Structure 1
Amino acid sequence: MHIPPQKAKFLRSALKEWEAEGRISDQQRQELESSIQVVFFDWQKLARYAFWFAIASTIISVSAVLSDRWLMAMIQKLFSAPDTVKLIFSTLVTVFLYNRGLKRRRLYPHKRFSNEALFFLGVLGTALCVALLGKILDDGSGHFSILLLLASLIYGGLGLWFPSTLVWVFGLLSLGGWLGAETGYLSGWGAYYLGMNYPLRFTLFGLVLLALSGLFNRWPRGRAFIHSTRAMGLLYFFISLWMMSIFGNYGDIGHWNKAGHDELALWSVLFGAAALAAIYHGIRYQDPMTRGFGIVFLGINLYTRFFEYFWDSMHKALFFALLAASFWYLGTHAERLWNLGRPQKAPSS
């Protein structure tokens, strides 16, 4: 077991306490302690961050090249091929990246971050291919949401086939983009579609994803995506409901300014009730995800209402003093929870 020094100290302390309580023998304690290997540097985190920085640096490098006029002119001369040729070339590169990621995962399953980095580059390649396809098929209608739906189907299919949670999540993100763009296109890019503004649409979309994650329980291949689908559903749902608690089902600033606090209070109550329901579910069924989302967004709701009702009416010194006091209370309460069950050292005299 390779763990950092702080966790190793905690585990050894727990083993000694269990031995003192008679739960394990001295020999068992020694055997368990011998399996603990202290790692003084977290190479796993370094690997994760290094790959993400490599991908970010690659994107910045490409952006820098594209922003250089001289290099851009050279690229245009070198790559003045038709869009169809560019699409074929990009597709081949993307297929290579996905294939390489799959092969590396079979050969080196422990190199998770480098394998996922290849999948991420494949995701970017897929987006480029879809964009080139849209450019080739563009008829001037502005119905680009079809491309987002195509990207979602590709990501979703590949994510289920590989399987890859990262690719699947991009499929859900693309599906959300398609929902916004398609309903906007159908409504003539107005604020409402079927009487719903954008936040209300995405609130319902989050509920659909939550229902989908529940259906995955009945499908063996889909069980690997329950966690990620539920997380995306909760994220869509709570962020959209938070926006609803601020703006309501209004589509322009004029109508929103005329709305009183009482008209928006219902959404605030609904937002708080949803957060409390998530906390109850997390405690009742030992689900840290729903419990965590509920606690975080209940806090966001309370602080939003604090700013909403007291920013204009309260003296700023008192406003920030109360804000500081609330954060101090949260910090001390979190510290107390953190120290529960941890061995307390007596102060040295």
Structure 2
Amino acid sequence: MRVSRKEGQLIQRAIDQWQADGMLSAAQARELNNSVQVHVLDWRRVARYALWVSIACTLVAITAALADEWLMTLLERVFSASPWVKCAAFTVIAAVLYNTGLRRKRRLPGRKFTNEAIFFFGVVATAAAIGFLGEAMSTGSDHFSLLLLLAAILYGLLGLWFPSTLVWVFSLLSLGSWFGAETGYLSGWGAYYLGMNLPLRFVFFGLLLLTVGSWLFTRWRDHRAFLGPTKAIGLLYLFVALWIMSIFGNYGDIENWERAGHLELLHWSVLFGLAAVASIYHGLRYDDGMTRGFGLTFLFINLYTRFFEYFWDETHKALFFGILAVSFWYLGSRAEKIWQLEAFSHLGADSEKPDRSGK
């Protein structure tokens, strides 16, 4: 069994404790120790971080190039072509990147992170192509949400075809952007649409995405890998929207919100808390780490937001941050204890498994 250094230290302490308690003989302890291989460096994590840094450096390089006067002059000459030409150029670039990533994925399926990085640059090129398409077809209206819908459809189809969960995530992000922009356009860019401000609309959007995505990908077994990202984006939309609602309520302007009292916003805080508790219950009931994690995270966000809301003005800042420090210390110590208990329970479960060799 290959484990990280921290996991190896924990396993070693567990084996030593079991041997000291008489649960293991010296020979059994030695056999268990020999079965554990500690790898000093997690190359999978290194690959992921290196590719993230590569993408970030590419974006920084592009930004630096745009800030350079000589390069800007050169780019202006290159991009002096019509929007149709630029759209076609980026379409070709995107197609080449997608084709390269797809062929490489079929040839080297184990190189997941580098393959997804190529798809990411294809996503960027596609966004540029859609942007120039919008510029070429612009009629002067503010209905740019149609371009976001086009991006969502393209990314969705490509993500399902490759398949690529990264491209699919960009489809869901584009879909959320389209929803916000489209409802804003239909409302005349007012604060309300069907009596709901933007965060409240995203509460229902997140619920819909979560429900439809869970129903679809639990039945579409060939694309079961898309269930996790879809749930994560749906939960993110839902809980971030509920968090904003717990602060601002269903108010559309800052003046009405400032006149509102704490009691007028209390029911949104309660709703936020109930949603977090429901998510925790679902995670515990169905052993779903994602819903449990989202529920716990946003439950604490809700509690700390209310703490800031009710006690920031009335409490001395030294006492205020002292209480925060103690609460976070307690939370961290309890989390550490729970983590150790879970790790020991997993080790105990592994030790109780029958030996398949027949010994």
Normalised TM-score (structure 1): 0.91
Aligned to 1:294: 295
RMSD: 2.3
Q: Is the 8 A contact 1:184 1:193 kept in 2?
A: yes
Distance 2:164 2:133 in 1: 24
Indicate the larger mover: 308-317 or 296-305: 308-317
Cα deviation, residue 2, structure 1? 4.1
**Any idea what SS the aligned residue of 2:87 has?**
helix
Match of 1:129 in 2: 129
| CA-to-aligned-CA distance 1:284-342 (integer Å, 9 cap, x gap) | 11111111111111111111111111111222222222222211211221122123266
Percent identical among aligned pairs is 57
**Do 2:214 and 2:227's aligned partners in 1 also have CA atoms closer than 8 Å?**
yes
Match of 1:250 in 2: 251
Aligned equivalent of 1:322:
323
Partner of 2:268: 267
Q: Structure 1 146/289 Cα, relative in aligned 2: closer, same or farther at 3 Å?
A: same
Q: Structure 1 residue 179 and structure 2 residue 188: aligned? A: no
1:118 is aligned to: 118
Structure 1 contact 212–229 (Cα < 8 Å) conserved:
no
233-242 vs 218-227, which moves further: 218-227
- Name the structure 2 match of 1:346: none
1:15/1:29 contact within 8 Å kept: no
What is the alpha-carbon distance in structure 2 between the residues aligned to residue 111 and residue 12 of structure 1? Answer: 32
State the shift of 1:204 in Å.
0.6
C-alpha displacement at 1:45, in angstroms? 1.8
Q: Which runs of 5+ in 2 are unaligned?
A: 345-359
Q: Is the 8 A contact 1:116 1:166 kept in 2?
A: yes
How far does residue 91 in structure 1 lie from its aligned partner after superposition? 0.9
> Which SS does the other structure have where 1:140 is aligned?
coil
Q: 1:340 is paired with a residue of what secondary structure?
A: helix
Unaligned ranges ≥5, structure 1: 344-349
CA-CA distance at 1:36 after TM superposition: 4.2
Tell me the secondary structure at the aligned position of residue 140 of structure 2: coil
Alignment of 1:197 with 2:197, yes or no, is: yes
Alpha-carbon offset, residue 12 of structure 1? 5.6
Please tell me the residue identity of whatever aligns with 1:224. Answer: A
The more displaced of 106-115 and 8-17 is 8-17
Separation in 2, partners of 1:270, 1:342: 34
Q: Partners of 2:312 and 2:285 in 1: how far apart? A: 37
Cα distance, 1:99–1:26 mapped onto 2, change above 3 Å: farther
Alignment of 1:1-349 (within 5 A): 1-11=1-11, 17=18, 21=23, 30=31, 36-216=36-216, 217-340=218-341
State how far apart, in whole Å, the 2-side matches of 1:102 and 1:36 are: 37
Change (3 A) 1:136 1:57: same
Deviations 1:117-146 (A, max 9, x none): 001111111101110110110010111000
Q: Distance in 1 between matches of 2:337 and 2:29?
A: 32
TM-score by length of 2: 0.88
Tell whether the 8 Å contact from 2:15 to 2:29 is kept in structure 1 after alignment: no
Query: C-alpha distance in 2, partners of 1:278/1:82?
Result: 51
